[in-house]
């Protein structure tokens, strides 16, 4: 079992796609990590996680832990950035605090999931 940053990688998946199960790694970043590790990815014939040697796993672990902020560190960084925006009182921070869309989306008819509209209570006849 291969474990990186507290996440178990699926054995049957190709390494490129198994790395994407770690928060903060997408397909392009996974390709960059594989290049740095020296694990060449041949299109169509990808190396699977179960085929990795112990040296490959330790090399992957070193590259991931040294070069990238991932998982809990990245979540904490994102939360601190949002908190900073809210404390500054800038427009993005105020929109976050109010629970409205931040990036200029329309709110008159859309954004129902972001607004979480309050359901009105109907009066029953007695």
Question: What pLDDT, on a 0 to 100 scale, did the predictor assign at position 55?
Answer: 92
Give CA torsion, residues 69, 75, 78, 79, to 10 deg. Answer: -140
Question: What pLDDT, on a 0 to 100 scale, did the predictor assign at position 44?
Answer: 56
Domain ranges in the chain with CATH number 4.10.910.10: 72-115
**Residue with more model confidence, 70 or 114:** 70
CATH class of 72-115: few secondary structures
As a 3-state breakdown, the chain gives helix, strand, coil percent values, each rounded to 5, of: 50, 10, 40
Residue 5 and residue 25 in contact, taking contact as beta carbons nearer than 8 Å:
no
Token pair recorded at residue 11: 């054995």
Question: What pLDDT, on a 0 to 100 scale, did the predictor assign at position 76?
Answer: 96
Query: In the CATH scheme, what is the code of domain 2-68?
Result: 1.10.8.50
Token pair recorded at residue 15: 């390494």
Cα separation, 24 vs 71, in Å, equals: 6
Question: What pLDDT, on a 0 to 100 scale, did the predictor assign at position 59?
Answer: 92
Question: What pLDDT, on a 0 to 100 scale, did the predictor assign at position 42?
Answer: 58
Domain ranges in the chain with CATH number 1.10.8.50: 2-68
């Amino acid at each position: 079992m291969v474990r990186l940053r507290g996440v178990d990688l699926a054995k049957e998946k190709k390494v490129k796609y198994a790395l994407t199960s770690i928060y903060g790694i997408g397909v392009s970043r996974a390709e960059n990590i594989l290049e740095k590790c020296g694990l060449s990815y041949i299109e169509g014939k990808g190396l699977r996680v179960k085929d990795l040697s112990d040296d490959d796993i330790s090399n992957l672990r070193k590259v991931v832990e040294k070069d990238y902020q991932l998982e809990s560190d990245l979540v904490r960084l994102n939360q601190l950035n949002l908190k900073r925006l809210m404390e500054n009182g800038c427009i993005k921070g105020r929109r976050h605090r109010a629970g409205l869309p931040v990036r200029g989306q329309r709110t008159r008819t859309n954004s129902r999931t972001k607004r979480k509209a309050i359901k009105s209570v109907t009066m029953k006849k007695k």
